[in-house]
Structure 1
């Protein structure tokens, strides 16, 4: 039986973690530590991303235009999510920065997290380690929240998230 080689949710987390490095050189162990995934998962993730054309052949450079295109046009179909029950957690999507400054809403969306201070509808994170990783790196948190806005948002939230992701992924901020 052939091993599944399609994209997995942690691949997005790994790619976004690499993007937060800016132009700095990085090592797989650093990405593993920051994304709260194992080094072997980073290696496998980069292999899948190379196959999908989201990193170059050296697996050191994220193909930013391709990643943005995948996030914009494919993410919500590949990794769909619907808000669930009211839980305690960490704000995401339009309930987190930067969209919380652009969208006024009484609704809150949160990643379930026992130590969270907000209550809202639960949104399952792309990968279980996302909350810890996001809380330790604000730039990564914003990218992951914007990605969640693509997964669960309505057209307006998705459009705003796309614009913000484009700024951060293509322009480095």
Structure 2
């Protein structure tokens, strides 16, 4: 039969162990499951890519190549999407987007979490209302369309930083992905009427 003193001693021992684990630089606080998860901008692009694939699954190596990311960055993005409940892992280990939460996240979260960052006039790839499908629906008075700055681009206009450095290359290789990312940019920088139209067009692609 344990006494009150023995219970107190056991509790004190447990508390000391837990405090040591928290304080130790190489212990539990450094483990992935013990840190605060936070989405990175490229994670949204990876999420769009999962939607663009239409249920098809790409091995991490192929996915990384198409997204112009490293395999580590691609795998980490998938982990964060699952941790944030924007995607789920099937029994076969394949990551799938959760469509029910994707729409509200993109429209009411991501556009504010990843605010537009503009730059000076540059060369790159057209985006927002300067790219399809928005340019077919919106007339803009600007002399130049907004562009993702990139050396391989051919369009001149005010710069708008993409979600990550190589996003323009990933978009160039996948028209469906490109449309989702340029529409997302229209949500970020457009006026009320442009945002409304971009929302309609993007919603059609997030079903």
TM-score by length of 1: 0.91
1:94 aligns with 2:146: no
Partner of 1:103: 138
Q: CA deviation at 1:134?
A: 0.9
Tell me the matched-pair count.
170
Q: Which runs of 5+ in 2 are unaligned?
A: 1-28
Q: CA deviation at 1:4?
A: 4.8
1:44 aligns with 2:71: no
Q: Which has the larger radius of gyration?
A: 2
1:34 aligns with 2:69: no
Partner of 1:114: 151
Please give the alpha-carbon distance, in whole angstroms, between the structure 2 residues aligned to 1:116 and 1:42.
Answer: 24
Higher relative contact order (CA 8 A, sep 6+): 1
| CA RMSD, Structure 1 to Structure 2 (Å) | 1.6
Q: CA deviation at 1:52?
A: 1.2
Specify which of 106, 116, 125 is matched with residue 162 of structure 2.
125
Q: CA deviation at 1:113?
A: 1.4
Partner of 1:10: 42
Please give the alpha-carbon distance, in whole angstroms, between the structure 2 residues aligned to 1:155 and 1:101.
Answer: 17
Partner of 1:60: 95
C-alpha contact (below 8 Å) 2:37/2:84 kept by paired residues: no
Partner of 1:139: 176
- Deviant stretches of 4+, over 3 Å: 1-4
C-alpha contact (below 8 Å) 1:17/1:34 kept by paired residues: no
Q: CA deviation at 1:8?
A: 0.6
Partner of 2:12: none
TM-score by length of 2: 0.77
Q: CA deviation at 1:76?
A: 2.1
Q: Which runs of 5+ in 1 are unaligned?
A: none
Specify which of 69, 83, 91 is matched with residue 118 of structure 2.
83
| SS in structure 1 of the partner of residue 205 of structure 2 | helix
